[in-house]
């Protein structure tokens, strides 16, 4: 019998976040590789699941879910023992979880995405070469806030590793591979510690 969960992803993209969450939850899943670089995002099966042609997409039985932060959170709610999302009985930690997830996707990630769009993702005529210093400055502002928060702690939440760390670590690794300097060397140890988690390693192997 095939697993209930199927992840549609592509190596070196945000789908690693979803694969990492599935691995943390210890859930069996099929992995369908979509080669975005060959235009497979615009063809079936992906385009039928997500009309924006983007990964990750998670199938959970009859349900289709997009957005990496939503997928991580959904898995955390489905599998509370994973510790990905604090439960209702810990309202302060739960609020902090949402606060940091929203901060990461809205503030930390957006400057990186702006740079990526103007380096290669947008149609050439819409790219502006002079956008990068502004976006890099915004990224540094966001990393400063994250670094300040992580002072004297190993994870974003007091209670330990959560889905917010998947989002943060993936975003920091993205900046590193794109050679965008966050100006916060003290985040390196945090990134290394998250990146070396066995579930993160398994997710990278699964994506290939
Ligand atoms: N906010 C979405 C962004 C998804 C996204 O932009 N994915 C990229 C790969 S990292 C993609 O599939 N791009 C293909 C395209 O834009 O056509 C998420 O976090 O899941």
Model confidence at 3, pLDDT cuts 50, 70, 90, reads: confident
Closest C-alpha residue for ligand 1 atom 14: 54
Residue 159: CATH number of its domain: 1.20.1050.10
Residue 170 C-alpha to ligand 1 middle, in angstroms?
14
Residue 4 structure tokens: 């209930």
Residues 134 and 67 reside in one and the same domain: no
* Ligand 1 close to Cβ of residue 13 (< 6 A): yes
Count helices and strands in the chain by DSSP H and E runs: 9, 4
Structure confidence at residue 129 (pLDDT): 86
Helices (DSSP H) in 26-104: which residue ranges? Answer: 46-49, 68-78, 91-103
For the chain, what is the domain count? 2
Which atom of ligand 1 approaches the CA of 42 most closely? 17
Structure confidence at residue 2 (pLDDT): 81
* Ligand 1 close to Cβ of residue 54 (< 6 A): yes
DSSP secondary structure letter of residue 157: B
In this predicted structure, the answer to whether residue 175 has a pLDDT above a threshold of 90 is yes
Residues 149 and 179 reside in one and the same domain: yes
Structure confidence at residue 164 (pLDDT): 98
Average pLDDT, the chain: 97
Model confidence at 51, pLDDT cuts 50, 70, 90, reads: very high
Residues 158 and 62 reside in one and the same domain: no
Q: What is the mean pLDDT of residues 40-65?
A: 98
């Amino acid at each position: 019998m095939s697993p209930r969960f199927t992840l549609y992803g592509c190596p070196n993209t945000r789908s690693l976040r979803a694969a990492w969450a599935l691995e943390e939850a210890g859930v069996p899943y099929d992995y369908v590789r979509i080669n975005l670089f060959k235009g497979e995002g615009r063809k079936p099966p992906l385009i039928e699941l997500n009309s924006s042609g983007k990964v990750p997409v998670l199938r959970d039985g009859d349900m289709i879910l997009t957005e990496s932060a939503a997928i991580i959170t959904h898995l955390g709610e489905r599998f509370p023992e994973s510790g990905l999302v604090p439960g209702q009985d810990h309202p302060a930690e739960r609020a902090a979880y949402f606060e940091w997830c929203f901060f990461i996707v809205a503030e930390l990630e957006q400057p990186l995405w702006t740079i990526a769009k103007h380096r290669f993702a947008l149609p050439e005529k819409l790219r502006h070469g002079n956008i990068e210093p502004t976006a890099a400055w915004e990224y540094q502002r966001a990393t400063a806030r994250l670094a300040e928060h992580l002072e004297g702690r190993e994870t974003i939440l007091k209670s330990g590793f959560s889905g917010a760390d998947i989002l943060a670590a993936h975003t920091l690794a993205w900046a590193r591979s794109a050679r965008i300097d966050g100006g916060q060397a003290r985040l390196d140890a945090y990134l290394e510690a998250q990146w070396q988690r066995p579930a993160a390693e398994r997710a990278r192997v699964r994506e290939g």
